[in-house]
Structure 1
Amino acid sequence: MRRILASALAALMLSGPAAHAADGAAGVPILEAGNHELSEFLWLKRPIVVFADSPADPRYVEQINLLTERLDILEERDVVILTDTDPAAQSTIRTELRPRGFMFVLIAKDGTKVLRKPFPWDVREITRSIDKLPLRQQEIRDQRNALP
Structure 2
Amino acid sequence: MANLNDFVWQKRPVVVFADSPADPAFADQIAELEDRWPELAARDVVVITDTDPATPSEIRRKLRPTGFALVILAKDGTVALRKPLPWTGREVIRSIDKMPLRREEIRRGALSAESPPRLAGIL
Which position in structure 1 is the counterpart of 2:101? 135
Any runs of at least 4 consecutive aligned residues in structure 1 with deviations exceeding 3 A, and if so which?
A: none
Which position in structure 2 is the counterpart of 1:80? 46
Kindly report which structure 2 residues correspond to 1:54-133, keeping only aligned pairs within 5 A, or say none: 54-133=20-99
Task: Provide Cα deviations, 1:80-113, integer angstroms capped at 9, x if missing partner.
Answer: 0000001111100000000111000000001110
Structure number with larger C-alpha Rg = 2
Alignment partners' CA distance in 2, 1:91 and 1:63 = 20
- SS of residue in 1 equivalent to 2:5: helix
Counting helix residues as a fraction of each chain, which structure ranks higher?
1
Matched positions, count = 114
Q: Give the unaligned 5+ runs of structure 2.
A: 116-123
AA in 1 matched with 2:91: E
Question: Structure with the greater relative contact order (CA < 8 A, sep ≥ 6): 1 or 2?
Answer: 2
Report the RMSD for the aligned CA atoms in angstroms: 0.7
AA in 1 matched with 2:49: T
Q: Give the unaligned 5+ runs of structure 1.
A: 1-34
Deviation, structure 1 residue 76: 1.1
Alignment partners' CA distance in 2, 1:140 and 1:38 = 24
Query: TM-score normalised to the size of structure 2?
Result: 0.90
